[in-house]
Amino acid sequence: MSVSPSVFLQESEENNVKSVETKQSQTTFIASEDPLQNLCLASQEILRKAQQSGRSKCLKCGGSRMFYCYTCYVPVENVPIEQIPVVKLPLKIDIIKHPNETDGKSTAIHAKLLAPEFVNIYTYPCIPEYEEKDHEVALIFPGPQSISIKDISLHLQKRTQNKGKTDDLERPSIKRKKTEEQESCDFSDGKCKGTTLKRVIFIDSTWNQTNKIVTDERLQGLLQVELKTRKTCFWRHQKGKPDTFLSTIEAIYYFLVDYHTDILKERYKGQYDNLLFFYSFMYQLIKNAKYSGAKQATELTH
């Protein structure tokens, strides 16, 4: 049966449209599957080279590692430290790591590597003393008493005022000074002298192990902050847990992004994106490996 040229051209155009639509849908799918693709990152060429050359020696302990030493918190020999980005943070971060958390699987180390002057890691039961600093410290962890990031300033103001009243009773001579500071508070714009959040605490642990740390008496009474709901990209997904349970480095990153816009009231321009320098590279490596494996399996079955 012959086909007229006009019919052939019409079918050809329809096929081309379908092809374009398929490619566009594939592109959209890939974009939605890769939320880390639009980050403002330093060049990861040094990581690509290190990945090709394989494990290298830690210059401190001599251990054989890939990219960095998770014991000493330093890059390994074939990853020069001067080629690793340094991130400046608006506050200090303390990470309390569960003793059963495997060092080599923890993403908390990324924060220490990339913002060494602002991040400290403690292994439980070691916890710093926060008792006299509860008006400037917050625990980032969901719970019945947790607040949103945008409400941090208001709650810090209340704590500062309560602390001022207590101090006035103990030291009447400075009552006027305390009162003047409290009157300088502007509740409308969320700013008040002496109410700046100076330190935040994150718990590095599987969700099933967090209870022992979060219920420790040394963390009781601290302002508790809950992050906005976001989906994790972590490749070590915890069995039986929703995909909104973030890895430690994701939680730190998303907190800082929201803190920058909601509390500092500044436009976010990727200032903390390099906290995901190692994380995004590893994510892409694993994603590519999975894709290659799935492609090879498809080729074998067809």
Nearest to 249 by CA among 202, 295, 209, 194: 202
Cβ count within 10 A of residue 255: 22
- Both structure tokens of 37: 């693709």
CA 292 – CA 296 distance, rounded (Å): 6
Mean pLDDT of 35-57: 94
Give tens-digit pLDDT for 11-32. 444 544 444 343 444 333 343 4
Give tens-digit pLDDT for 94-116. 999 999 998 998 999 999 999 99
Q: Which residues contact 53 (CB under 8 A, 6 or more apart)?
A: 78
Please compute, for residue 265, the number of CA atoms within 13 A of its CA located in the half-sphere on the CB side: 6
- Both structure tokens of 83: 């080629």
Q: What are phi and psi of 121, to 5 degrees?
A: -115, 130
Q: Distance of alpha carbon 97 from its chain centroid, rounded?
A: 15
For the chain, the 3-state helix, strand and coil shares in percent, each to the nearest 5, are: 45, 10, 40
Angle of CA points 196, 223, 240, to nearest 5°: 125
Nearest to 59 by CA among 43, 76, 42, 73: 76
Q: Which residues contact 298 (CB under 8 A, 6 or more apart)?
A: none
Mean pLDDT of 76-90: 97
Going through the chain in order, the beta strands assigned E by DSSP cover 56-57, 64-65, 68-69, 74-75, 92-97, 119-123, 137-140, 199-204, 223-225
CB 113 within 8 A of CB 219: no
Give tens-digit pLDDT for 270-298. 999 999 999 999 999 998 887 666 554 44
The terminus-to-terminus CA distance of the chain in angstroms comes to: 32
- State residue 288's pLDDT score: 85
Cβ count within 10 A of residue 219: 18
- Both structure tokens of 132: 């006299």
Name the average pLDDT for the chain: 81
Q: Per-residue pLDDT for 81 more than 60?
A: yes
- State residue 231's pLDDT score: 84
- Both structure tokens of 22: 């398929």
Q: Per-residue pLDDT for 258 more than 70?
A: yes
Mean pLDDT of 44-51: 97
Q: Per-residue pLDDT for 168 more than 70?
A: no
- State residue 19's pLDDT score: 42
- State residue 13's pLDDT score: 47
- Both structure tokens of 54: 């394989």
Q: Per-residue pLDDT for 178 more than 80?
A: no
- State residue 234's pLDDT score: 72
Q: How confident is the model at residue 34 (pLDDT cuts 50, 70, 90)?
A: low
Q: Tokens 């714009």 correspond to what residue?
A: 189
- State residue 166's pLDDT score: 59
Give tens-digit pLDDT for 186-207. 544 545 554 689 999 999 998 8
